[in-house]
Amino acid sequence: MTRLHVNGALGRLGRVIVQLAEMSGEFAVTKSGRGDAVGELVDGCDVVIDVSQPEASVLVADECARRTKPVVVGTTGHSADQRQGLQRAAQRTALLLAPNFSVGVNLLFWLTEQTAKTLGPEFDAEVVEIHHRLKKDAPSGTAKRLGEIIAQVRALSYETSVRNGRAGLVGERTSGEIGIHAVRGGDVVGEHTVLFAGPGERLELSHKASSRETFARGALRAAHWILARAPGMYDMRDVLGLAER
């Protein structure tokens, strides 16, 4: 039985991960939440899943790195400095960073990359995401990753190319723009659509999640996968074998 520690266990996703892990009979689960000291808890586990807050996830990753414990980070909204902190931890232990654990969303990442390569810059790219009213960060980590993929394919800088919504007299859309739009309301688990709009036609790639169990199952799959990995930075593409395609 795999000894799993879940940090952020009191959050919406954390609770579901704990529930499914315990029901599976494959994990012995320990938990921590905001303000808890995780050092000793990490000592007694085989793998950690973090679904907390950006600052906390960096601290947890560092604790895992000190003990060479693999860690799966599903927290989003990291700053550039916090991402660097995760990169440093990945030099000492296996770290999987996933803005979204859903198998379907990670296939969407891959399809977005292939579509952007095929259609080229003649097609304008826009991302629309919808989440529940309690979500704290915007755009979502998934929407940001979709924007990063498009920017990378088109040799653009994400920071200078992305337009997070538009208001006022902004002028005509340029070919180097990537629009990202965040909608918040109700109890929507998560919806993401990538639009590629060209002359006379439009292609839309969409994913809609109806249950957080989708993300929890992906997180547990990632935890199993990362157990035997060497130090380094991984993502869900590695888990699903999409990185090799």
Name the residues annotated as catalytic. 131, 135
Straight-line distance from the first to the last Cα atom of the chain, in angstroms, rounded to the nearest whole number: 32
Phi, psi of 63 (to 5 degrees): -60, -40
Give the Cα separation of 8 and 196 in Å (integer): 36
Q: What CA–CA distances, in Å, run from 233 to 72, 146, 174?
A: 10, 19, 34
Q: Which two tokens stand for residue 12?
A: 């919406």
| Element spanning 213, H or E | helix 213-226
Distance CA 62, CA 58 (A): 6
Q: What tokens does 142 get?
A: 């998934």
